[in-house]
Amino acid sequence: MNKKLLVKELLLEQKYAELKKLAAENHAQTLRYIQMYLFEDINSPLRWEAIEALGYLAKEYGVKEELAYRNVIRRFLWAMNDESGNVPWSSPEAMGSIIANQPELFGEYTPMLITNALDNPMCHRGMLWAVGRIGKVNNTLVMRFIEKITPFLSAADADLRGYTLWALGEIGYREILPRLANVQGDQEKIYLYREGRLDWVGLDELAKEARAKLEKAV
């Protein structure tokens, strides 16, 4: 089978161990093919599996192939910059996946991820997902930006409100608890990738989930 199509099949079937074997044979090629699927539709499962796979491979090969992942991250950062002229499709999410899986190696890029994404409205949704993904692993990497993140709870866009609810719950930001009552009852639904699946979930449910997480947080 064509390697590119094989990577697609393995992504859709979430066979990350098999992707690891392909990367052991030709890391650069495997990494390149995975990135090609980052340009799928924003709510495509294939796109999200490519994002997830980048993090998985970063965890497995980050130390050995550190320069390769730093170069990938730098390209994503540049894509988020208006001056690049590129469409920053999946850049913040892909960076978030890599950093969350290798926070000690690549956590230093978190401030740049958030700052660049805040300056580009196209990246706000992906940045909020990345914040939740990274913050669950190490919330100190994102807490300095919390005052830039919490206003998205009042965004007109349901995706931004929902991603913020989810992210704040993952981070463990208890200070937001009093505001959750204002969100409960919001019947709008969004697509959200979490725990290895793409869910169609209501904002009221996300508010309840965030409250449950935060009330358990120490």
Please give the mean pLDDT across all residues of the chain. Answer: 92
Instruction: Please say whether the structural domain 3-216 has been given the CATH code 1.25.10.
Output: yes
Give the least confident one: 17-21, 34-38, 105-109, 177-181.
177-181
Q: For 118-173, what is each residue's pLDDT tens digit?
A: 999 999 999 999 999 999 999 999 999 999 999 999 999 999 999 999 999 999 99
Q: Residue ranges of the domains in the chain? A: 3-216
pLDDT attached to residue 182: 72
**Which has the closest alpha carbon to 132: 179, 215, 193?**
193
| pLDDT, greater one: 216 or 218 | 216
Q: What's the confidence (pLDDT) of residue 187?
A: 82
Each residue's pLDDT tens digit, 26-84: 999 999 999 999 999 999 999 999 999 999 999 999 999 999 999 999 999 998 876 54
pLDDT at residue 86 in the model: 55
- The percentage of the chain sitting over the pLDDT mark of 70, rounded to a whole number, equals 95
Residue 218: its pLDDT value, please?
61
